Amino acid sequence: MSDHYEPAAFKARVDDVLTCFIAQEAELLLAVDADLAPVADQLEASVAHGKRLRAAFCYWGWRAAGQPDSEALVRAAASMELVHAAAVVHDDIIDDSPVRHGLPTAHMALRGSVRQGHRVKAAARGLAMMVGDLLMSLAGQLFTVSGLPAAYLSRARPLWATLARELIAGECLEILRTGAGPDTAGSLKVIRYKTAKYTVEHPLHIGGALGGADPRLREAFSCYGLPLGEAFQLRDDLLGLFGDPARTGKANLDDIRTRRPTALLAETWKAADDADRGRLKALLGRRHLDEQDLETVRAIMTRAKSPARVERMIDARVAEAMAALGDADMPTHAVRALTDLANGAAVRHR
């Protein structure tokens, strides 16, 4: 790979690693018993999609530390995508989301594999939970067998515990705060721990640690990665309600149906009048919502001008990330790549 970041070429490299690695793991699973075929299928389906941003941030954390291109590093970076795949499977179970990437989520797809007479929904959710757990375990395995020297791996291994702790803390906070009064500061804390850190900051730190990054560079990674990770999730929240499902691959009303404590909802609640709050309250948490309900929610949010405020929050965080990048001491090609990645994370349609 040249010093120029080419998203499609990098994605293809990561896809190759994931496809081969998970195919081998699926075969080992089937060797235990042929009845595990549906689980093996979902294991492979879980890595079939994705922009590979987390792997890219890990890769450019390594390059920012002055290291050259490395196939072993790409394998290690690909492990970040297995963390993401695990988080997605678990998140979809928690939210009971029916669709992801335009396809049935793991716990929905596995319903057809459960024998009649079982509690089908509960059994399928249990199987999906095992898929997510296995993916998280395999992330650590892929990292360990990446081919990087043991001394390099030992520098980064402690960061995995922090990644897991903070990711789980964010997910738990979201569950605990779902249904509570909308609060922007609380919502931002959830997205910092649930998404921002494992999407941008932790991959950068892991790549940097593998490459021997010094304390100043690690600090620059945090100053860049945290606001950018928050911007990424704020964009996701906007797309969740105002995006095109054909492009996002998700149902528009998931956040309202599950009463997810997003900053978009908190900003809407804060600015809405009593009548609109009443309308919104009547829809929050309702299981069956239709297109008319979606238009009602969009209209309430537009009247409250909350999408525009969230856009300003995104812009401010991207600007903060870019300022940190400008102050960092790293190779020019790494600065260019991280600039491109910032634009791709915050300015997107899916």
- With H, G, I as helix, E, B as strand and everything else as coil, classify residue 109: helix
pLDDT of residue 99: 87
Q: Which of 250, 140, 294, 114 is nearest to 206 (CA)?
A: 140
CATH superfamily of 7-346: Farnesyl Diphosphate Synthase (1.10.600.10)
Cα–Cα distance measured from residue 125 to residue 144, given in angstroms and rounded to the nearest whole number: 29
The pTM (predicted TM-score) of the whole model is 0.94
**Contact in structure between 238 and 307 (CB atoms under 8 Å):** yes
C-alpha dihedral (170, 172, 173, 177), degrees to nearest 10: 140
Tokens 């102050």, located at residue: 327
For the chain (350 residues), the mean pLDDT of every run of 10, in chain order, is 85 98 98 97 95 97 97 98 97 90 92 81 94 97 98 96 96 89 92 94 98 97 97 93 81 81 93 94 86 92 96 96 94 96 83
Q: Which long-range contacts (CB under 8 A, 24 or more apart) does 180-185 make?
A: 180/261, 181/269, 182/261, 182/265, 182/266, 182/268, 182/269, 182/270, 183/261, 183/266, 184/263, 184/266, 184/267, 184/270
Cα–Cα distance measured from residue 301 to residue 20, given in angstroms and rounded to the nearest whole number: 45
pLDDT of residue 2: 66
pLDDT of residue 4: 85
Q: What is the DSSP string of 209-232?
A: HHTT--HHHHHHHHHHHHHHHHHH
pLDDT of residue 95: 87
pLDDT of residue 158: 94
pLDDT of residue 25: 97
- Measured from the Cβ of residue 94, the count of other Cβ atoms closer than 10 Å reads 18
Q: What is the DSSP string of 190-203?
A: HHIIIIIIIIIIHH
- Separate counts of helices (H) and strands (E) for the chain: 17, 2
Tokens 């525009």, located at residue: 308
Helix (H) or strand (E) holding 104: strand 103-104
Cα–Cα distance measured from residue 197 to residue 83, given in angstroms and rounded to the nearest whole number: 12
Q: What is the DSSP string of 152-212?
A: HHHHHHHHHHHHHHHHHHHHHHHHHHTTSPP-HHHHHHHHIIIIIIIIIIHHHHHHHHHTT
Tell me the sheet residues that pair with 100: 103
